[in-house]
Amino acid sequence: MRLHLKVWRQSSADAKGKIVDYDVDDASPDMSFLELLDVLNEKLALQGEDPVAFDHDCREGICGACSMVIDGQPHGPEKATTTCQLHMRHFRDGDTITIEPFRAGAFPVIKDLVVDRNAFDRIIQAGGYISAPTGSAPDAHATPVPKVNAERAFAAAACIGCGACVAACPNGSASLFLGAKITHLGELPQGQPERHGRVLAMVSEHDEAGFGGCTNTGECAVACPKEIPLDVISQLNRDYLDARKASRKGA
């Protein structure tokens, strides 16, 4: 396959970026998208040019590190697929492909296609956990969890924190990510003692990090490679309102 790539190049966080054109003449339909970038980088290295910087780790669709916007879509055109699991057979010989970093105020570009997603880590540190000591592992049936709650918790826990929801949102909101983390713990008995404090702290950190507000466009759920349901945002909003009411009563 012969492909024409239009790649965002930015040497540092403070540098001005631009789109640079490259041609790859020997792409295989069986390559993953990251392998295509590997081939491009080998070519650039042999020419004495700076390779394109991009994030990756597991390359198995698990970690979410492979965050980039392909032809205007976070992770590319295939639904429920991370960039590393997107294969070149989904493109045609002679295609022009535009590759950019995730665009969001809370995700500043570090270099080329690499963005700083530490804001997600700070949201988790603010309350995305339970602090009750658990001791040794309890028996599986020691704490009964209704099936519907367990399934909803598992669905929300599938979030890999890649940030595609933020990149897809016209407001740069992380509400789908935040809602997934709130719903995951809120559906389980172990998450109840800190439920109110958790949502207040995490929403505060979300806003402090510079993420925008949710206006329910739904683009986040469409772009999510793990298909996190949009209704976790409703759960987030309900928990937040309940927490605010409880805090006012406590005051």
- The domain ranges of the chain are 3-111, 117-130+144-250
Q: What is the mean pLDDT of residues 218-227?
A: 97
Q: Report residue 134's pLDDT band, with 50, 70 and 90 as the boundaries.
A: low
Q: How many angstroms from the chain centroid is the CA of residue 167?
A: 8
Q: What confidence tier does 249 reach under pLDDT thresholds 50, 70, 90?
A: confident
Place domain 3-111 in its CATH homologous superfamily: Beta-grasp domain (3.10.20.30)
For 139, the token pair is: 């028996």
pLDDT at 141: 77
188: buried, middle or exposed (CB in 10 Å: 19+, 13-18, 0-12)?
Answer: middle
Q: What is the pTM of this model?
A: 0.93
* pLDDT at residue 123 is higher than 70: yes
pLDDT average, residue stretch 170-175: 97
Average pLDDT over every residue of 179-202: 95
Residue given tokens 């009411």 in the structure block: 245
Strands (E) located in the chain: 3-9, 18-24, 69-70, 73-74, 96-100, 109-111, 114-115
pLDDT classification of 104: cutoffs 50, 70, 90: very high
Amino acid at 48: G
Question: Rounded to the nearest 5 degrees, what angle is found at the Cα of 185, between the Cα atoms of 79 and 214?
Answer: 55
- Classified by CATH at the fold level, domain 117-130+144-250 comes out as Fumarate Reductase Iron-sulfur Protein; Chain B, domain 2 (1.10.1060)
Cβ 67 vs Cβ 167: under 8 Å? yes
State residue 251's pLDDT score.
53
Note the pLDDT of residue 46.
Answer: 97
